[in-house]
Chains A and B, each alone.
Chain A
Amino acid sequence: MLAVLAPFILALFIPALYKYVRQVHTGWFVLPLPVILFAFLFQYIPGVANGEPYTFSIPWAPSLGINFTLYVDGWSLLFGLLITGIGALVVLYSIYYLYKDKEALNTFYVYLLMFMGAMLGVVFSDNMVVLYVFWELTSLSSFLLIGYWYHREKSIYGAQKSTIITIFGGFAMLAGFAMMYVMTGTFSIRETIAMAGNIVDHQLFIPAMIMILLGAFTKSAQFPFHIWLPDAMEAPTPISAYLHSATMVKAGLYLVGRMTPIFAGIPEWFWIVSSFGIFTLLWGSFSAVKQTDLKSILAYSTISQLGLIMSLLGLGSAALYFGYGDESLLYTTAILAAVFHLFNHATFKGSLFMVVGIIDHETGTRDIRKLGGLMTIMPATFTLAVIGSAAMAGLPPFNGFLSKEYFFTGVVNASRLDIFNMDTWGMLFPVIAWVASVFTFIYCATIVFKTFTGKLQREKLDKEPHEAPIGMLIPPIVLASLVVITGFFPSLLEYTIIEPAMAAILPGLLGPTETFYVNIYFWHGWTIELFMTIGVVVMGTLMYNTYKYWDRIYFFMEKRDPVNNVYDNAMIGLVKGSTVVTRIQMTGLLRDYFTYMITFMLILLTYSLIRFDAIALDTSQFAPISIYLWAVTLVIVISTIAIPFIQQRVTAIIAVGAIGFMLALLFVVLRAPDLALTQLLVETVMVVLFLLCFYHLPELRRESFTPIFKFTNLVISIAVGVVITITAYSALTLGNQADFQPISQYFIENSYKLAGGLNMVNVILVDFRGLDTLLEVLVLGIAALGVVTMIKLRMTGREDV
């Protein structure tokens, strides 16, 4: 529990340490934490290997079913070890990489620790909501770290892009989690797994799956969401090594592995995960070959390797289709390969990024067209690069070879599947995998030979190249030795890490005492996989040496990923489209806004009148009309209709006044003496006010309307009048039909008894409903104050108020 929160707590103290202890590089204060965490997690290995998961729980919002639950099993422990171990090495590396006096170290380490804590939270959370919270925290800290050098245009662009894409996926994932909750009624992943069998037929099952996969694919840079990763290379190299190779981009893989027990076994999951993965593998390896910047090569190589792992997770999910039995164990090889390669990729990719960082640091460039001949100058770096690249290309005797073998085994096995239409399409998998491996070989060769062999071009370099300081070399050396050790002694991992992780991804395939058979060794005999590997090496060597003949193909000429154009145009289009829409809507004209509002209300009212059949015109129960009323009404109608046509001020005032006075007369006729009095007074004052104002205002001009303008106004106005009339009349009719008794009987009976007044209206105003009157007085007061303020306070220009 404390382990997950510790990075956040330490992050609070970093700025103070940076400020007050300037002599020591801040990184040294950060370094112990991941080391301690690594050691702490290390002690769980024996227990987890024996199949005993650990659980810790603290209630957070129990009423919502959200608890801060940590769950440690093989799968999350593998990630935990990767995060803390590589985190420690990256911190050590960054101490030597970033200068103490030139960079803002405090922000760097705060973001880094925030990321570390968030990532640990992601992998250990059992609760989906908590997982989502940490997930977004990783997105946020990644954004901050990519934009670390915020004065660079490209950093800002890369940070923005990565954030938009990953947050989009994160929201989709949240929606998926919400759907899961609707289906199961719990946010706990383990409880969901226990219910997995019951929800397969639920209508939300597939949408939830797609939403969650969107989150995983955006985070893990699967096609077509991979475009943010190459642009994220603007981050400092330690960050690229840590976030964009070893940890954050694996969060999506983690999620897919976590969700496998829930979703696997249906064809949709199998096909989506494996086909996207395999296509990403192909696309990434193609794109990596054409890059000239070392970090871009590594970025695309990361994309392709992530695709590889993703496709393996997809293919391995077929094992759950068969359920408990021997046949399923054939397909668990794919999961084994996925877990193993995930570990391997973290080791060699981390070390390669650090190597590139060293080259950048010592020569001042990462462009392979400027580099060359560094072999004799930087022997240690060269060795590391060879080890890392060979492992990446899948050559013996390194660990990459082993996982590549298993990868081939997995795809070949999968191609023999006879479910999910695999019998027709299955052969594609090994073929695509093989082609992608050839390209992988080519770019690995590029990294090594273009950088370290050939001629040294001193005139193109900014600095005099020399070997890196020892502190910068230690982390990649550690990682590279891991590459070699797991290459020679893979048995170290077999039952400590890999098997528990597989057991976590594929529960229920084993009896209580059984374990998966994990036996990794070099020599399988003359199998099809070995021939494939030999073919990769031969073909790759051939193509690498003839590269200058086929690099003229358009795809390899265009250095930027074509999917970027889609993204860029989408962003530009979004801004343009919003601007256009805003321009159309927000004209700044009062008239237009009124038109929108009135039209909307008209449509709404008319629709509901028709929809609920509320138009009722019944003339039976109403009071008769006296001749007197006819006359008054006629005067009102005539003066009302005359108003729009009047061009003189005084006439307009008289017309409006006439309406007011006639209204007062109407109130008299309709037995409302108080109203008539008030209306008379108010109308008089209003006329006076108008006269005062009009004296200062211009003559009412003949308005220069276009006929169409007039016409639309007329249509809208008449529609308003008609709808209001119909509404009023229908309401009356329906009210009559409903025959409810008005509350006024109470006032009539009690106004003298309770309040001691004979004038009911006045009693209501000041006694029964006095609060209205109080606030109405307040309204008048405010209006008066406003009038005074407007006249007295003259703001000329923009002075202080």
Chain B
Amino acid sequence: MELLMSLLVGILFTVGTYMILTKSILRVVLGLILMSHGAHLLLLTMARLKQGAPPLLGEAAAAYADPLPQALILTAIVISFGVTAFLLVLSYRTYKEHKTDDLEQLRGSDDE
């Protein structure tokens, strides 16, 4: 199971990297989203996916899944959401100002 998850993380990162290296702002944002997905999944995987009850004490199980990485991922999800939202609005404003979403055409500006 961990091997599969590692492969999945690798694929997510591959596509994310590929998108980041392209020219359109939107694709870059999409790539970043994919990368953060990959990172979250990686965090979860690294804590060993032992089958156990969800981390709720009410379950009264013999073994629980590790709660700590889940807390970390929860924090990370929220933060990456904030950043992505910001980036989206930024690209929207950029397009409105410069009439292009092509990063190659966004090189430098007149007031440098």
Contact = CB atoms under 8 A, between A and B. Distances in A.
- Pair from one complex: yes
Interface of A: 587-591, 594-595, 598, 619, 622-625, 629-630, 633, 636-637, 640-641, 643-644, 652, 656, 659-660, 663, 666-667, 670-675, 678-679, 682, 685-686, 689-690, 693-694, 696-698, 700-701, 703, 705, 713-714, 716-718, 720-722, 724-725, 728-729, 731-732, 735-736, 742-744, 747-748, 751-752, 758-761, 764-765, 769, 772-773, 776, 779-780, 782-784, 786-787, 790-791, 798
Interface residues of B, number: 82
A716 B96 CA distance: 32
Given A713-B18, A748-B67, A759 B90 contact: no
Contacts of A643: 15, 19, 30, 34
B22 to A, nearest CB: 6
B53 A682 contact: no
Given A673-B56, A686-B33, A728 B1 contact: no
Contact of B14 (A720, A751, A758): A720
Contacts of A640: 11-12, 15, 34
Nearest 9 pairs of A and B residues by beta carbon: A721-B14, A725-B10, A783-B82, A760-B67, A721-B10, A717-B18, A760-B55, A717-B17, A764-B71
Majority-rule SS of A interface residues:
helix
A760 B42 contact: no
B9 to A, nearest CB: 6
B40 to A, nearest CB: 7
A433 to B, nearest CB: 60
Contacts of A713: 17-18, 21-22
A790 B30 CA distance: 20
A725 B89 CA distance: 32
Contacts of B53: 671
A786 B6 contact: no
A124 B86 CA distance: 63
Nearest to B28: A590
Interface in B51-88: 51-58, 64-68, 70-71, 73-75, 77-79, 81-86, 88
Contacts of B67: 744, 747-748, 751, 760-761, 764
A671 B13 contact: no
A666 B57 CA distance: 22
B34 to A, nearest CB: 7
A689 B74 contact: no
Given A675-B73, A693-B92, A786 B86 contact: yes
Question: Which of A636, A659, A742, A761 has the largest number of chain B CB atoms within 10 A?
Answer: A761
Contacts of B77: 675, 678-679, 682
6 contacts: A594-B20, A623-B48, A682-B81, A689-B85, A694-B26, A752-B57
Contacts of A693: 88-89, 91-92
Contacts of A623: 1-2, 48-51
B102 to A, nearest CB: 9
B21 A758 contact: no
Contacts of B30: 643, 652, 656
Contacts of B8: 633, 636-637
Contacts of B12: 636, 640
A624 B103 CA distance: 45
Contacts of A722: 10
A637 B11 contact: yes
A675 B45 CA distance: 14
A675 B74 contact: yes
Contacts of B66: 742, 744
B53 to A, nearest CB: 7
Nearest to A765: B71
B99 to A, nearest CB: 9
Nearest to A796: B97
Contacts of A700: 24, 26-27
B83 A783 contact: yes
Contacts of B27: 644, 700
A622 B79 contact: no
A773 B48 CA distance: 24
A697 to B, nearest CB: 6
Interface string B30-46: 10011001101110111
B46 A732 contact: yes
A732 B6 contact: yes
Contact of A686 (B2, B40, B57, B84): B84
A705 B74 CA distance: 38
Question: Which of A666, A697, A758 has the largest number of chain B CB atoms within 10 A?
Answer: A697
Contact of B81 (A685, A735, A760, A764): A685
A689 B58 CA distance: 37
A787 B6 CA distance: 35
Given A693-B92, A701-B24, A786-B86, A641 B15 contact: yes
A728 B111 contact: no
A598 B55 contact: no
A188 to B, nearest CB: 52
Contact of B90 (A588, A590, A790): A790
Given A671-B65, A673-B56, A666 B41 contact: yes
A587 B106 CA distance: 12
Nearest to A732: B2
Contacts of A725: 6-7, 9-10
Contacts of A686: 33, 81, 84-85
A697 B85 contact: no
Nearest to A643: B15
B94 to A, nearest CB: 10
Contact of A696 (B4, B82, B92): B92
Nearest to A682: B81
Given A689-B85, A693-B88, A724-B13, A591 B21 contact: yes
Nearest to B72: A772
A717 B41 contact: no
Contact of B52 (A656, A671, A703, A758): A671
A619 B4 CA distance: 11
Given A643-B30, A790-B89, A791-B93, A732 B45 contact: yes
A438 to B, nearest CB: 61
Contact of A728 (B42, B54, B73, B86): B42
B107 A663 contact: no
A731 B46 contact: yes
B71 A761 contact: yes
A742 B68 contact: yes
A696 B52 CA distance: 46
Nearest to A722: B10
Given A594-B21, A595-B21, A760 B89 contact: no
Contacts of A732: 2, 6, 45-46, 48
A779 B81 CA distance: 10
Contacts of B47: 742
A728 B83 contact: no
Nearest to B79: A779
A663 B10 contact: no
Given A640-B12, A713-B18, A787-B89, A769 B71 contact: yes
Given A678-B77, A773-B75, A716 B21 contact: yes
